[in-house]
């Protein structure tokens, strides 16, 4: 596959991208004989937008998706817009134009594509305006991330920044309150005011936040854990924290 091309697979991921940006599609491969209620919208949209499609065997799809669950559809597309720290001012302005307080999710070194996909899905559901990640040592948008995110890659910008601590300081200068999650604090998530302009920081799987990231948070909170397990999967914990923020923001 050419350098300036990407693969997308999975029914939700392909459907979301056709609806958002049909001009990015080069071609679609569909499972031969699969013309059920879930696949027909993709077939109809590809015809509507004149996207070349081929009916192929399951083995061809398995090879193209490198063994990942493709659900009978794989597409070759042109890359979309990539976001950097230079886009954050525009994202904040766009939110304020709609009278919405800025709302960000910062992932410090989350490397598992399934976790990134699940965090994107959580962020979309919670109304997060962008996810901010370091450019290095972090999961990037891949076909697996797209599939797990079930379309959220198209609605939530993934902003890759060269210096996470510097970006956090820039957000703070714009009035964004930065809350990090850390097991060592005594402050519970549910005891803190979490409305207004906010950024939630989640640490990497296992290791948590890096020291500099932790030091640049305005506040640290933890989830109350009643059982014998010491921590939750990062995407599960992210969903819990984001929706406590959603609850408080809606009051």
Residue 97 lies in a domain: yes
Q: Tell which of 51, 77, 103 closes a domain.
A: 77
The whole-number pLDDT of residue 196 equals: 93
Mean pLDDT, rounded, for 216-245: 91
- Output the pLDDT for position 176: 96
Same domain as 168, residue 59: no
Are residues 92 and 166 both part of a single domain? yes
Residue 184: give its domain's CATH number: 3.40.1280.10
For residue 210, give the DSSP letter: -
The proportion of the chain whose per-residue pLDDT surpasses 70, expressed as a percent, equals 99
Residue 55 has pLDDT above 80, yes or no: yes
183 occurs within a structural domain: yes
Which of 55, 77, 99 represents a domain boundary (last residue)?
Answer: 77
Domain that holds residue 143: 83-250
Check whether 17 is labelled as a binding-site residue.
no
Asked if the structure places residue 1 within a domain, the reply is no
| Same domain (yes/no): 97, 153 | yes
Residue 150 and residue 236 share a domain: yes
Do residue 65 and residue 184 come from a single domain?
no
- On average, the pLDDT of the chain sits at 92
Whether residue 237 sits in one domain with residue 218 = yes
CA 232, 234, 236, 240 torsion-angle sign: positive
If asked whether residues 64 and 121 sit together in one domain, one would say no
One domain, residues 54 and 133: no
Residue 208 has pLDDT above 80, yes or no: yes
Q: Which residue has the higher pLDDT, 105 or 147?
A: 105
Question: What is the number of structural domains in the chain?
Answer: 2
Q: Is the dihedral of CA 144, 14, 122, 212 positive or negative?
A: positive
- Residue 203 is labelled as binding a ligand: yes
If asked whether residues 14 and 72 sit together in one domain, one would say yes
Question: Annotated binding residue at 7?
Answer: no
Following DSSP, what letter does each residue of 52-80 receive, concatenated? EEEEE-HHHHHHHTTTS--TTEEEEE---
Q: How much is the pLDDT for 237?
A: 94
Q: What is the pLDDT of residue 229?
A: 75
Query: Which pLDDT value is given to residue 226?
Result: 83
**Same domain? 101 vs 70:** no
Average pLDDT of the segment spanning 197-206: 91
Do 112 and 221 have their domain in common? Answer: yes
53-57, 203-207, 227-231, range with greatest mean pLDDT: 53-57
Question: Could you say which of 60, 77, 94 is where a domain stops?
Answer: 77
Its pTM stands at: 0.90
With 90 as the cut, is the pLDDT of residue 66 above it? no
pLDDT at 240: 96
């Amino acid at each position: 596959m050419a350098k300036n091309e990407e693969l997308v697979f999975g029914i939700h991921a392909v459907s979301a991208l056709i609806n958002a940006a049909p001009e990015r599609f080069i071609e679609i491969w569909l499972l031969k004989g699969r013309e059920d209620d879930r696949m027909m919208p993709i077939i109809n949209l590809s015809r509507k937008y004149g996207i070349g499609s081929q009916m192929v065997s399951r083995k061809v799809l398995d090879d193209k998706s490198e063994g990942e669950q493709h659900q009978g559809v794989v597409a070759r597309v042109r890359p979309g817009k990539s976001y950097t720290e230079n886009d954050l001012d525009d994202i904040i302005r766009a939110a304020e134009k709609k009278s919405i307080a800025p709302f960000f999710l910062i992932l410090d070194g989350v490397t598992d594509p399934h976790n990134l996909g699940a965090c994107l899905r959580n962020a979309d559901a919670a109304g997060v305006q962008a996810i901010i990640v370091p450019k290095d040592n972090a999961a990037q948008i891949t076909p697996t991330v797209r599939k797990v995110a079930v379309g959220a890659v198209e609605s939530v910008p993934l902003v890759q920044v060269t210096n996470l601590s510097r970006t956090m300081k820039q957000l703070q200068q714009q009035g964004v309150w930065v809350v990090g999650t850390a097991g060592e604090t005594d402050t519970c998530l549910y005891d803190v005011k979490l409305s207004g302009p906010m950024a939630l920081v989640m640490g990497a799987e296992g290791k948590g936040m890096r020291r500099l990231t932790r030091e640049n948070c305005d506040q640290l909170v933890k989830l109350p854990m009643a059982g014998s397990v010491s921590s939750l999967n990062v995407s599960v914990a992210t969903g819990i924290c984001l929706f406590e923020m959603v609850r408080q923001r809606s009051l």
